[in-house]
Structure 1
Amino acid sequence: MSQTTPEPRPAGAFSWNEDWLATVVGLVLIGLVLIGAIPDWLVP
């Protein structure tokens, strides 16, 4: 079995996982509805 250690990430590196991506997309959709760029009935 190989005993390799994972490479350390550089300081300040931020990994985007599904939770953060969903949060950002949701906030963008809310912002677009609030400014009237898309109709509110379009976003569930």
Structure 2
Amino acid sequence: MAQTESEPRPGGAFRWNEDWLATVVGLALIGLVLVGAIPDWLVP
């Protein structure tokens, strides 16, 4: 039985998944509300 080897990822490579993306978007929205760029009633 032949086993296929997966290619190793480079050590510095960071893959964005949906959890990290949601975290960054949420923090960006909070930051925009805090600086007054968007009104707080707009963000649920």
Q: Scaled by the length of structure 2, what TM-score is found? A: 0.87
Count of aligned residue pairs for this structure pair: 44
Runs of 4 or more consecutive aligned structure 1 residues displaced over 2 Å after TM superposition:
none
RMSD: 1.5
5+ residue gaps, structure 1, are none
Of 22-31 and 5-14, more deviation after overlay is shown by 5-14
Stretches of structure 2 that go unaligned for 5 or more consecutive residues are none
Q: TM-score, normalised by structure 1?
A: 0.87
